Amino acid sequence: MDTATAAPALLDRCARAFHAHFNKPPTLAALAPGRVNLIGDHTDYNQGLALPMAIDRWTAIAAAPRTDNEIHAGSALGGQVLRIENSTAAPAWTTYIRGTLELTREAGLNLGGLDLWIESDIPTGAGLSSSAALCVALATLIEHATGITLGHAAKARLCQRVEHEYAKVPCGIMDQTIIAAAHEHTAMLLDCRSMVTTYIPFDGREVRVLIADTGVSRALASSAYAARRAECEAAAAFLGVQSLRDAPAPTEEWGTSIPLRRARHVVTENARVQAFAEAIRARDWPAAGHLMDQSHDSLQGDFDITGPALDALIQCARDIGQTSGVLGSRMTGAGMGGCAVLLVRADAADDIAARILPAYSARTGNIARVFPVRPVAGASAATPPIITH
């Protein structure tokens, strides 16, 4: 199984790389985790319910102020330092840096010039919110450096605006909220209308969460995502409600029309999130797993967002089955590639991880990776480690 780098080791690597590239030690640092959504997908932009947790994979930033007003940034992804203001044709990650810097400045957090270096062990393009982690980590570092706190909700909205206005991704608010506001050892029930967050204890004594990456990047994800958002809006208009959160219970007459199938997914998914929250509170793991299975079926059948790779991976998990410890499994995040999430019996986690990889490769020819995750706290500023050579 893939193993994660512990946060202190990642921070240390980041501080060393900063020192090597800028020839001075960092004076600021921040960490933000990735996230996995346990249940409740394509509900957040319909003012619905989601139940994510932050995972023990992080993005680390080490930084130091500059005497001019320039922003120079480098990342392990690109390996070189770029001047951000000049980087419109530069790699995608620089867009997130530019957006977060501009919007925090607009919000009154004025930092002046900055040198920064980024390291991450969150797989990119896999649906584990590496871009939201980057924005939230940087916003957190800027809060710490300026002494001005935005607060979790405002920081999440600001980072969502970076996606909308700079990366042109019309995402909801789930990823940024869990990454900013997660509590260790809990999953978060998030009401995307009231923005009330409820933390539900979720430890790994009896069950583990496994992430299985299809190895297929979410190439079609952005066009399909925007199309589904538009279909949900059309469905709400047809049903005469302001958002699908207020849609009535589906009836037989809803049939197979596309907007009403989308609505049926959202309405039933909101109910599943609520039932899942009760199930994990009661430590009723078979019930929680069954709801995850139903969620995947709904995302596949009514929302048409799973795609062949995810469906093959879920089939492999189902073939291993409950008797071998797979309690439930589903796609997670935007869909169309990316990752699946499995709820498994703790004592069977290693065996399941070892069995699912060859089964999936045999079925698809793709290489998957599987790793366990645990619920960690949200983004925080950190003391930069002291570098001793």
- Is residue 300 within 8 Å of residue 311, measured between CB atoms? yes
Return the number of the residue (42 or 57) whose C-beta is nearest ligand GLA.
42
CB nearer to ligand GLA: give 44 or 231.
44
**In 18-48, beta strands by DSSP E:** 28-39
Q: Does 344 bind ligand GLA (CB under 6 A)?
A: no
Start-to-end Cα distance in the chain:
31
| Residue 326, CA distances (Å) to 118, 308, 316, 351 in order | 36, 21, 10, 10
Identified binder of ligand GLA from the candidate list 26, 99, 215, 333, rule CB under 6 A: 333
Can residue 123 be called a binding residue for ligand GLA (CB under 6 A)?
Answer: no
Nearest-approach distance from CB 301 to ligand GLA, in angstroms: 17
Residue 175 within binding range of ligand GLA, rule CB under 6 A: yes
Tell whether residue 269 is a contact of ligand GLA (CB under 6 A). Answer: no
**Least Å from the CB of residue 42 to ligand GLA:** 5
By DSSP bridging, strand 339-345 and strand 369-373 are: unpaired
Q: Which of residues 33, 48, 123, 172 is near ligand GLA by CB under 6 A?
A: 172
**Does position 302 bind ligand GLA by CB under 6 A?**
no
**Which amino acid appears at position 377 of this protein?**
A
CB 209 within 8 A of CB 343: yes
Whichever of 307 and 333 has its CB closer to ligand GLA, that residue is 333
The residue among 111 and 192 lying less far from ligand GLA, judged by its C-beta, is 192
For residues 375 and 181, the answer to whether their CB atoms sit within 8 Å is no
CA distance readout (Å), 25 to 21, 99, 112, 297, 378: 10, 25, 18, 51, 25
**Cα distance between residue 93 and residue 263, in whole Å:** 34
> Which residues are paired to 63 by β-bridges?
28, 116
Q: Establish if 28 lies at the interface with ligand GLA (CB under 6 A).
A: no
Stretch binding ligand GLA (CB under 6 A), from 54-62, 81-89, 169-177, 380-388: 169-177
> In DSSP terms, which residues pair with 341 in a beta bridge?
211, 330
* Binding of residue 171 to ligand GLA (CB under 6 A): yes
Q: What is the footprint of ligand GLA within residues 32-61 (CB under 6 A)?
A: 37, 41-42, 44-45
Could you tell me the smallest distance in angstroms from the CB atom of residue 385 to ligand GLA? 31
CA-based nearest residue to 21, from 75, 86, 70, 67: 75
Q: Which residue, 26 or 34, is less far from ligand GLA as judged by CB? A: 34
Q: Is 273 in the site for ligand GLA (CB under 6 A)?
A: no
**Interface with ligand GLA, residue 224, by CB under 6 A:** no
Report the Cα 36 to chain-centroid distance in Å: 5
Cβ-based nearer residue to ligand GLA, 175 or 304:
175
**Exposed, middle or buried: residue 76 (CB in 10 Å: 0-12, 13-18, 19+)?**
middle
> Would you name the residues annotated as active-site residues?
175
Applying CB under 6 A, does 334 fall inside the site for ligand GLA?
yes
Among the listed ranges 17-25, 171-179, 322-330, 355-363, the one in contact with ligand GLA (CB under 6 A) is 171-179
Q: Within 125-154, which residues bind ligand GLA (CB under 6 A)?
A: none
User: What's the rounded Cα separation, in Å, for the pair 279 and 297?
Assistant: 19
Q: How far apart are CA 345 and CA 212, in angstroms?
A: 16
C-alpha 115/C-alpha 112 separation (Å) is 10
CB of 20 to ligand GLA, least distance (A): 33
Which has the closest alpha carbon to 296: 274, 318, 277, 279? Answer: 318
Which window, 86-94, 167-175, 267-275, 322-330, contacts ligand GLA (CB under 6 A)? Answer: 167-175
Smallest gap from residue 329 Cβ to ligand GLA (A): 16
Contact 231, 361 (CB under 8 A): no
Q: How far is the CB of 315 from ligand GLA (least distance, A)?
A: 21
> Which residues contact ligand GLA (rule: CB under 6 A)?
37, 41-42, 44-45, 171-172, 174-175, 333-334
